[in-house]
Amino acid sequence: MTHAQCVALLGAVCSPVYRGALGVMYGCGLRIGEAAAVTVKDIDAARGVIRVVGKGNKERLAPLPSALLAGLRRVWATHRHPVWLFANKRHSNHVDTGELYKVFARVRREQGLCDAVKPHALRHSFATRLMEQGVPAETVRILLGHASIKTTQTYLHLTEPIRRQVNQAVSRFCISLFD
């Protein structure tokens, strides 16, 4: 998904809790389960990071931009749960990932995106934006919590800057093919 599509999709989510959980998937590169289970203690505002417990209970730190932090503070203020950043409606636990999938599917349809676009596309888009900004693949691997660079390589498709660079390179050696 493009940045504009991500922003439009997130902007169409009415619930601040659901928008916040989906927003950290895009803004911090989290998986849906990781986003749902963020606790208040996972936020380190002073360092600008969020502690993430990923697959296999592996911990990592993800960047937490100040604008996203401000938004998350507003989300938390809607329920003030002492543990969960994204509390469910009964305030008994964190938001349910199944509900996040449903909300995403509804908004995706409203935005006219194809059914193949799943919530994981937000994490994929996070990685793509980083690559477009020139962040090395190894750094993206660490931020996503991948054990192997091979896993990260699934995100290394042709981004727009790379596509332009490839076109320019091909143009240089194909210039005289039909002379």
Domain boundaries, the chain: 3-174
- Considering 3, 41, 47, 55, which one is annotated as catalytic? 55
Mean of the pLDDT values across residues 63-77?
Answer: 94
The amino acid sitting at 135 is V
pLDDT given at position 67: 92
**pLDDT tops 90 at residue 93:** yes
Is 60 an active-site residue? no
pLDDT given at position 83: 97
Is 146 an active-site residue? yes
Is 123 an active-site residue? yes
Give the CA radius of gyration of the chain.
18
- Considering 94, 123, 124, 141, which one is annotated as catalytic? 123
CATH of region 3-174: 1.10.443.10
Cα dihedral 23, 27, 30, 35, rounded to 10, equals -30
Tokens 């389960």 belong to 33
Mean of the pLDDT values across residues 128-142?
Answer: 85
Is 150 an active-site residue? no
pLDDT given at position 161: 67
The token pair at 96 is 């349910």
The token pair at 104 is 């995403």
Is 120 an active-site residue? yes
* Cα–Cα distance measured from residue 1 to residue 16, given in angstroms and rounded to the nearest whole number: 22
- Considering 19, 26, 31, 60, which one is annotated as catalytic? 31
Long-range CB pairs of 156-164 (<8 Å, 24+ gap) are: 156/131, 157/128, 159/128, 159/131, 159/132, 160/132, 161/132, 162/131
pLDDT in tens, 155-167: 666 566 666 766 6
pLDDT given at position 39: 97
The token pair at 175 is 């210039």
To 10 degrees, what angle do helices 16-28 and 66-77 make?
A: 160
Is 155 an active-site residue? yes
